[in-house]
Structure 1
Amino acid sequence: MKPIVRKILAGVVVLAIGAVAGPWIYINLIKQDAPDVLTLEPSVTTTTAAAEPAETSTTVATTVTTVDTSATDGEWAVVAESIVGYRVKEVIVGQKTEGVGRTSAVTGSLKIADQKVLNAEFSVDMTTLKSDSTRRDRQVNTRILDTATYPTATFVLKEPITLTPEVLAGSELTVNTTGTLTLRGVTKDIAVTLIARLVDDVIEVNGSIELVFADWSIPDPSISAIVVEDRGQLEFLIRFAR
């Protein structure tokens, strides 16, 4: 084999190895892990040791805790700690990973009266979505979501949600409901499962919505060596306060 042919073959082998090893090194050794799925933080439980029982007992006192259900009535507004984002599954030259972008540029409100959420809505400035990749962010802002034309996404609750005294006292509420989502200029009624909780005078609402891209006029996000699934998750953790 001539030296020049040997060099060419060696170069081809090096390029082939680099094409395979490069993405593996990036995803497994360089790229940061995707953020965890948005969820409510676990409740803090305080445990008190039981006292030694007395030798004699004559009466047992029972304390009933009542909740002023009217204390939550009124308008609540979205606060700065709210987060909305997307999560998609990607394959980069055979290596599986996740793309996640998020923003806290969220506004909105909800209204409570007579132990019911009468209405609720939030809007997101989609131009502010950020991930761990500036290349991905450019694709999201231009070709994929076209945020110059459609800068805002909104969700509006379609039906009231009843709140029990336990929920108003701090217990979690899981409810299947419906809402109207507007994204990339497309408006649809959707079903969504919400998990809500009242903690320290803040109402937290958590959920996710599966988005099939074709249903929302979102073009295939895949490019060259990066293959993206045909759907993703819109995640949110919204906090309301007064």
Structure 2
Amino acid sequence: MNSLRKNIIAIAIAALVLLVGAPWLYINVIKDDAPSRLTLDTVVATTPDTVVSPDTTSVVVPDGIIGTWTIGPESLAGYRVKEILVGQSTEGVGRTSSVSGTLEIVDNSVTTAEFTVDMTTLKSDSAKRDAQFSGRIMDTATFPTAIFTLTSPIVLPANATTGEKFSTTATGDLTLHGTTVAVTIPIEAQLTNGKIAVQGTINIVFADYGIPDPSIGPIKTDDHGDLELLLVFGR
């Protein structure tokens, strides 16, 4: 009887070690690290299309920045969600370059702007996560796009044309999962290489958009995640 009890205890301990150890091994040894957050440093910070004014230290853009700018193929959008697998923490990150849109600059303000993300093309490092994202969670067959529309002008600072990074906010309507919510996105921007690069991150509470809890089985998530953007506008 003592031998049987010892065997049962040994099996229970082995199962516990396997339950905790396997996720740890997968997350810390096998699984690739989540991609770093998007930053303006992703865009090469050179400005060959600009010249330095002889009487100032400012960079003068020959054609100016007034007019319409269009999102280019360098742009990225995606999500970042914290995941807990049997006590082990990791991040789920999905991204796509299928982003389109424009912005209009009049005088010293961005007067209109809109971008659309093709949600059906978002991919992570896990086919199983992607299947859950496109199906049960975001239902991209029904809601294939996410759209942001600027509702308040963005007044550009004096250094907007100097090639320096500057911070501001973009206030508008974000439509996600078929639900539109008024949001303000903190952004950092820079005129670089004749293009306007804009990076922004906004925390999304899933319930605000009618998005179901992404948790499934042993994988638990927070009730919120980040929408990450790196938009590169050219013309």
Tell me if both proteins adopt one fold, taking TM over 0.5 as the criterion: yes
CA distance in 1, matches of 2:120, 2:192: 30
Cα gap change, 1:208/1:75 in structure 2, threshold over 3 Å: closer, same or farther? same
Identity level (%): 48
CA RMSD of aligned residues (A): 2.1
Equivalent residue letter for 1:229 = D
Partner residue in 1 for 2:37? 37
Count of residue correspondences: 226
Tell me if the contact between 1:222 and 1:228 (Cα under 8 Å) persists in the aligned partners: yes
**1:147 is the counterpart of 2:132:** no
3-state DSSP of counterpart to 1:131: coil
CA distance in 2, matches of 1:30, 1:63: 57
3-state DSSP of counterpart to 2:40: coil
**1:241 is the counterpart of 2:226:** no
Deviation at 1:162, TM superposition (A): 2.2
Equivalent residue letter for 2:232 = R
**1:1-242 equivalent positions in 2, closer than 5 A:** 1=1, 9-41=9-41, 63-64=55-56, 67=60, 71-242=64-235
Question: What per-residue deviation string (whole Å, max 9, x for no partner) do you get for residues 60-117 of structure 1?
Answer: xx83356358622221111111010101111100001111111101010111121221
Deviation at 1:14, TM superposition (A): 2.5
**TM-score, structure 1 as length reference:** 0.86
Deviation at 1:7, TM superposition (A): 5.0
Query: What 5-or-longer segments of structure 1 have no aligned partner?
Result: 46-61
Cα gap change, 1:63/1:24 in structure 2, threshold over 3 Å: closer, same or farther? same
Cα gap change, 1:70/1:158 in structure 2, threshold over 3 Å: closer, same or farther? farther
Tell me if the contact between 1:69 and 1:115 (Cα under 8 Å) persists in the aligned partners: no
Tell me if the contact between 1:130 and 1:137 (Cα under 8 Å) persists in the aligned partners: yes
CA distance in 2, matches of 1:157, 1:151: 20
Tell me if the contact between 1:76 and 1:241 (Cα under 8 Å) persists in the aligned partners: yes
CA distance in 2, matches of 1:77, 1:211: 26
CA distance in 1, matches of 2:204, 2:224: 5
CA distance in 1, matches of 2:74, 2:154: 23
- When Rg is computed on C-alpha atoms for both structures, the one with the higher figure is 1
Partner residue in 2 for 1:56? none
3-state DSSP of counterpart to 2:19: helix
CA distance in 1, matches of 2:61, 2:18: 66
Tell me if the contact between 1:90 and 1:98 (Cα under 8 Å) persists in the aligned partners: yes
Partner residue in 1 for 2:50? none
Question: What per-residue deviation string (whole Å, max 9, x for no partner) do you get for residues 166-218 of structure 1?
Answer: 21121222113311100000001111111111101110011111111111101
**TM-score, structure 2 as length reference:** 0.88
CA distance in 2, matches of 1:189, 1:202: 28
CA distance in 1, matches of 2:132, 2:56: 57
